[in-house]
Copies of this chain bind each other. A is one copy, B any other.
Amino acid sequence: MPTLTAAQRREQARAAYNAYLATCPARQLLDRISGKWVSLLLNALADGPRRYSDLSRTVAGISQKMLTQTLRDLERDGLVSRTVTPSVPVRVDYALTPLGATLLPVVQAIKDWAETHIEEVMRARDDYDARHSAPTEHRA
């Protein structure tokens, strides 16, 4: 009885996994895409393929090691494709796969949220610090 719509099949797949469970594969995947560099790299690929050195410049502060390692992980997970052009010197382009493109809106939303709400968060921090440090005297 394979009379399921694509949406129904997706729902079935989702219901079979639970990221709250430590041993569930979905939890590992969540950890992976929650990585420090993943959202920035995927965001950097939003407008099309990019070269290694290009990514290195765009995502400021990332080391070569982490750039390579994260790109490898993303490639292995099918989120990013790697294309080598055997010129001299070599040219390597990274691009989002169709699967990676489905994750893009989400990581864009995160980056966007951070940039949009950082000021509110900084105010909240000042407030918290003011109320929790300097507990001298009877404060209000």
Contact = CB atoms under 8 A, between A and B. Distances in A.
Interface of A: 10, 13-14, 17-23, 25-27, 29-31, 33-36, 38-40, 44, 58-61, 75-79, 99, 102-103, 105-106, 109-125, 127-129
B106 A19 contact: no
The quantity of this chain's copies bound in the complex is 2
B30 A61 contact: no
Interface of A is mostly: helix
A138 B117 CA distance: 52
B30 A127 contact: no
A129 to B, nearest CB: 8
A53 to B, nearest CB: 15
Contact of A36 (B31, B77, B117): B31
